[in-house]
Amino acid sequence: MTLLEHPTLQDIHQARERLKPHIRRTPILRAEKIEPAVGCQLYLKPETLQITGAFKIRGALNKALSLPREQIAGGLIATSSGNHAQGIAYAARMLGVKATIVVPVGTPKIKIENTRTLGAEVMVFDGDTAARWKRVCELAEQHHYTAVHGFEDPLVMAGQGTIGCEILEDLEGVDTVIVPLGGGGLISGIATAIKETRPSVRVIGAEPSLTPKYHQSRINQERTSLPLKNTIADGVRISVPGRNPYPIIEKYVDEIVLVDDEHIIAGMRTLAKDAKLIAEPAAAIGIGALLAGSVKLRPDEKVCVVLSGGNWDLSELAEIYR
């Protein structure tokens, strides 16, 4: 993707209308039991309850539904550690076209199984995000597939931004929204929806301490690539900030906080015990940030944490809960 492109508020509103018949409007849940541990009024936006178990269906489906049918007739292709894969596979099945997904080595088995169950062909590829995207582009050219990037595409970002609209409508007086920060597509869409509608609402990105690419980029005042370290939060394990999300995040995201793996795990346990929600590590990072005291809050502050997905191997979840 060569052009720098940003979704507008109008793009996000159009995405809402496009997606309305096809996705689940996830609820806002008050998490009273967790509030004493985090020191605020806590609300959860559980995209774990989305049709594919993660928010990624919003962006994937918005992109697919925006394209002319003849353009996608050859099929869709993407690279993903699992949740974007399932979103693309779902969209392709709904539209009756082929889906091919290139996944990294180490992708949780449940994400691969779910993607195959939706009818997609899955190819395991040993390489970082850039190398996998290069492979996707090669395959797209060879087989006339349409490539859909998980976080650089403005229509994908617009689809994710519909979460921000729902939060503003369903949680009156929300003060702060905390969003997992991986490639940057989710927070770019949400931050655009929120800041262009209600600029006073604070938007915070939660990023793993082991892959602090956006945090470091903000310090350096330029996009900064870092060595890829093996955080438990596979869904946000990316070494370089997204080219298109980066300027949106610099414009609209008030703060970026870093979260250690131990606090991410504590977040997963807390969500299971006190909110009865299964969250994968990337989804629990916002709760981890709050448990670690990384965000300054008032006791009366209304905080909404986006839980991005719940697709993780049950045996590994059991080990964490144990």
Catalytic machinery residues: 56, 308
Query: Which position has the token pair 């492109």?
Result: 5
Dihedral of the CA atoms 40, 41, 42, 43 (nearest 10)? -150
Helix (H, G, I), strand (E, B) or coil at 85: helix
20-56 per-residue burial string, b: 16 or more CB within 10 A, e: under 16? eeebeebeebebeebbeebbbbbbbbbbbbbebbbbb
Strand 41-46, strand 29-30: pairing: antiparallel
Cα 239 from Cα 307, distance rounded (Å): 22
Give, for 190, the enclosing helix (H) or strand (E). helix 185-195
Structure tokens at 20: 């309305």
What is the C-alpha to C-alpha distance for residues 291 and 42, in angstroms, rounded to an integer? 12
